[in-house]
A = this chain, B = another copy of it.
Amino acid sequence: MSQKLFVSAQEVAEKAGVSRSAVSRTFTSGASVSPKTRQKVLDAAEVLGYHVNHLARGLMRNESGIVCLIVSDIGTPYRSAMTRALTQQLQNSGKVAMLINTDRSDDSVDLALRQAIRYRADASIILSGLPDKSITDLCLKNGQRLVLINRDDDSEGPLKINLDDEDAAARIATAFVRAGCRKLAFANSQAGTPSLMARERGFVAAAKALGLDVIVERFGHTGYESGRVVAQQLLTRKERPDAVFCATDLLACGFMDAARHQFSMSIPDQICVAGFDDIEQASWSSYQLTTFAQPVDMIARETVSWLAGDTVQPESQSVCLHADLVWRTSIRGG
């Protein structure tokens, strides 16, 4: 068991016959080293297997290069797609992602942020839950940047990225009516997260404007099984709806499966269905779900470029992205 641990810049310096600062400069971009010295250092480093210690570097620079990703239900299609996009683009910009898995409580988000502070993360990106103001203030005061994705918070300081959920909901209401639907329903979970509630609100309001009522049904957390339960609730009513907007694709998949296999209904002939997120499964031929696409890559790009900018721009701290409607065959017409 080798107790002698990692190679240090000191050792490289000795091997290369230069000072330790020369080594440091070689690995610091934008420092002035003569090509000759540089090469000597590089050779010695290669032989010794030297790698800059980012822990020590972060200590000096007050910049760890670490970005914390705070996310719950990471096994879920949308969340994992978002995680993929973020980690990818963070890496491309020279950062590294620290992933913290939370349960659905806000408490666990606070804990995660504390962890982010301990590792002196340059930034934290929150995909789930909403932390306490005291802790976010602490982060901001410590110079840690904060990004809230689909959290719809109005606090100052963090970058807030949201979608036009309400507008999207209105568009789908119109599409339903155009398809000849008159008995609208909304399938939601009981999670009550901002974006989910915005979709519900927008859908109900748009329907009202079109002179229609909406049956709203909520159940459990936001997953496939809940979609099945909500289908149970909606399709055993005296008057079945002829169109249902599901708050997420996962709910929609559960709903469609129950509608077809349990109630022998035909989609879109007897009932039209729409979802939100455009997870991979939405495009599978068993679903062919009309849905709104989460612009995950664009969200990631916005996030990373904001993090890269070292000047704080108070005006661009809130960005609202457009959710494109992806038309498939779960709604009649098109």
- How far, in Å, is A221 (CB) from chain B's closest CB? 14
Say whether A306 faces chain B, with CB atoms less than 8 Å apart. no
- Selected contact of A76 from candidates B54, B80, B142, CB within 8 Å: B80
Q: A56-B59, A77-B77, A100-B91 are in contact. Are A51 and B117 (CB under 8 A)?
A: yes
When distances are taken between beta carbons in the complex, the residues of chain B under 8 Å from A56 are 55, 59
- Selected contact of A224 from candidates B75, B257, B280, CB within 8 Å: B280
Say whether A193 faces chain B, with CB atoms less than 8 Å apart. no
Say whether A31 faces chain B, with CB atoms less than 8 Å apart. no
Q: Closest B-chain residue to A120, C-beta based?
A: B55
When distances are taken between beta carbons in the complex, the residues of chain B under 8 Å from A64 are 55
Say whether A2 faces chain B, with CB atoms less than 8 Å apart. yes
Complex CA distance for A7 and B66, rounded to whole angstroms: 19
Say whether A44 faces chain B, with CB atoms less than 8 Å apart. no
Say whether A138 faces chain B, with CB atoms less than 8 Å apart. yes
- Selected contact of A51 from candidates B79, B114, B254, CB within 8 Å: B114
Complex CA distance for A237 and B305, rounded to whole angstroms: 51
Q: Closest B-chain residue to A279, C-beta based?
A: B75
When distances are taken between beta carbons in the complex, the residues of chain B under 8 Å from A280 are 75, 224
Within 8 A of B (CB), among A64-89: 64, 66, 69, 73-77, 79-81, 83-84, 87-88
Q: Determine if B87 and A101 form an interchain contact, defined as CB atoms under 8 angstroms apart.
A: yes
Q: Determine if A119 and B143 form an interchain contact, defined as CB atoms under 8 angstroms apart.
A: no
- Selected contact of A75 from candidates B52, B58, B81, CB within 8 Å: B81
Q: Closest B-chain residue to A101, C-beta based?
A: B87
19 A–B contacts from the bound complex (CB under 8 Å): A2-B143, A3-B143, A6-B117, A52-B118, A69-B99, A74-B80, A74-B83, A75-B81, A75-B84, A80-B80, A83-B99, A87-B100, A87-B101, A91-B101, A96-B98, A97-B99, A224-B284, A253-B284, A286-B286
* A-B contacts besides A96-B98, A224-B284, 13 pairs, CB < 8 Å: A2-B141, A6-B120, A49-B138, A49-B141, A51-B117, A53-B59, A56-B59, A74-B87, A75-B280, A77-B80, A87-B100, A88-B101, A98-B98
Residues of A within 8 A of B (CB): 1-3, 5-7, 49, 51-56, 58-59, 62, 64, 66, 69, 73-77, 79-81, 83-84, 87-88, 91, 96-101, 114-115, 117-120, 138, 141-143, 224, 253-254, 257-258, 260-262, 280-281, 284-287, 312
